[in-house]
Amino acid sequence: MSSTTTVKTAPAARPVRSVDRWYPLRRSAEAVLAPLVALVTAAALFSIFLLFLGASPVDFIDLVWRGAFGSWFSIQNTVQRASPLLLTALCVAIPAQLGLVIIGGEAAVVLGGLAATVAALPLVNTSPIIVWAAMAVAGSAMGAAWITLSGWLRARLNVNEVIASLVLSYIGLALFNHFVEGLLRDPASLNKPSTYGIGDQNMLGNVPWLDLHPGLPVGVLACVLCWVLIYRTSFGFAARVTGGNMRAAQLQGLPVTKLILVACAIGGGCAGLAGAIEVAAEYGRANASLDAGYGYTGILIAFLARFNPLTIIPMAILLGGLGAADGLLQRRMDLPDATIQVLQGLIFVLILASDTLYGRVRWFQPRGDA
């Protein structure tokens, strides 16, 4: 209690709150600055690596800038690459609120894409709106079901979800290949086995004026909604409490099993939706192109974002930008593709290490007497 307050202290709560009014903002600043420090450190270490290779770090940074953000084309290239990653990162970040590490998003993407295609096929001659709705529902439902399976194994049988989701993702990919190369294969797709197509008229067009498909706005919207869910609803609160200490949450009477299943369903639904969008906007049919590693890159992004759905957006753009610049680096500096992977690895390790910075700097901490 503040020393200025009188005996009748009812309003005292207000000054305390007002002192602390900027804390959420500072907390956000901390969340931005810590990874920035890590990025700068990674860039510095990587420059040393480049000097050993005999390449110029200045050229490198210049090319990354030009390839990722330097022109309107580059910016669109970057965000287009980021858009499926937003959704696959959520597949990791939402279950992570409960302390679960789900790494099987890749299977949710491909099976979501496959389910979306199957749902679309009988409807190709109706209207595109119906087709898209069916694809979105089928894709998310499939992804949700697949990831929920890992959650169920964890909640009911106490199977480690890391192993379960990883092993299930191999099974999912095998199932996907089995259907695409067998039962659902369009016999005309000779050397690249694919399902039947959803038809050109049902393809998702680009966002007006931009060379971007609607995956980007959908992904950003999903991140925002998930942020609201996690930080502004009682479900999110219960999930975070469970993540803090699952046994304690159980003792408090929180429906932990239900929370796990719902969180896995939401995450898996996002990844499945990513697969559905890829089919509707890019391929028009399900084939091996869906298995492009979006699910795995999503894991990286979710960890980089410390599982905060809003932070996923800049992190996905960062990795999208590195992907966009990769080609230019190969072409101009004659660097192998693995160079970018070295940089990604450095960034990953340093951002994880930067976790230890949180709470160390007083300025970011809550102030006041409360």
Task: For residue 287, give the 3-state DSSP assignment.
Answer: strand
Q: Which of 30, 106, 161, 282: binder of other proteins (CB under 8 A)?
A: 282
Place of tokens 């979006």: 294
Q: Which of 35, 67, 128, 272: binder of other proteins (CB under 8 A)?
A: 67
CB of 79 to other proteins, least distance (A): 11
CB atoms within 10 A of CB 30: 18
CB of 312 to other proteins, least distance (A): 20
Of the candidates 312, 286, 288, 277, the residue with the CA atom closest to the CA atom of residue 298: 312
193 binds other proteins (CB under 8 A): yes
> Is residue 111 within 8 Å of 176, Cβ to Cβ?
yes
Comparison of 10 and 188: residue with beta carbon closer to other proteins = 188
Q: Report the C-alpha gap between 88 and 103 in whole angstroms.
A: 10
Q: Report the C-alpha gap between 215 and 221 in whole angstroms.
A: 10
Comparison of 268 and 323: residue with beta carbon closer to other proteins = 323
Comparison of 27 and 192: residue with beta carbon closer to other proteins = 192
342 binds other proteins (CB under 8 A): no
Q: Which of 122, 217, 244, 336: binder of other proteins (CB under 8 A)?
A: 336
CB of 317 to other proteins, least distance (A): 15
163 exposure class (CB count in 10 Å sphere: 0-12, 13-18, 19+): middle
283 binds other proteins (CB under 8 A): yes
Task: For residue 13, give the 3-state DSSP assignment.
Answer: helix
Per 3-state DSSP, what percentage of the chain is helix, strand, and coil (rounded to 5)? 75, 0, 25
Q: Which of 5, 41, 257, 289: binder of other proteins (CB under 8 A)?
A: 289
Binding-residue pattern over the window 79 to 118 for other proteins, x denoting contact by CB under 8 A: -xx-------------------------------------
337 binds other proteins (CB under 8 A): yes
Q: Which two tokens stand for residue 219?
A: 């992904």
The region of 115-123, 191-199, 236-244, 295-303 touching other proteins under the rule CB under 8 A is: 191-199
Comparison of 198 and 265: residue with beta carbon closer to other proteins = 198
Q: Which two tokens stand for residue 351?
A: 């951002």
174 exposure class (CB count in 10 Å sphere: 0-12, 13-18, 19+): exposed
- Residues from 295 through 334 that contact other proteins (CB under 8 A): 323-324, 326-328, 330-331
Of the candidates 283, 249, 347, the residue with the CA atom closest to the CA atom of residue 39: 347
Of the candidates 68, 176, 58, the residue with the CA atom closest to the CA atom of residue 113: 176
Comparison of 133 and 174: residue with beta carbon closer to other proteins = 174
Q: Report the C-alpha gap between 106 and 147 in whole angstroms.
A: 10
Of the candidates 302, 301, 290, 305, the residue with the CA atom closest to the CA atom of residue 323: 301
66 binds other proteins (CB under 8 A): yes
Comparison of 29 and 174: residue with beta carbon closer to other proteins = 174
CB of 337 to other proteins, least distance (A): 4
181 binds other proteins (CB under 8 A): yes
Residues that bind other proteins (CB under 8 A): 66-67, 71, 73-74, 77, 80-81, 177, 181-182, 190-193, 278, 282-284, 287-289, 292-293, 323-324, 326-328, 330-331, 336-337
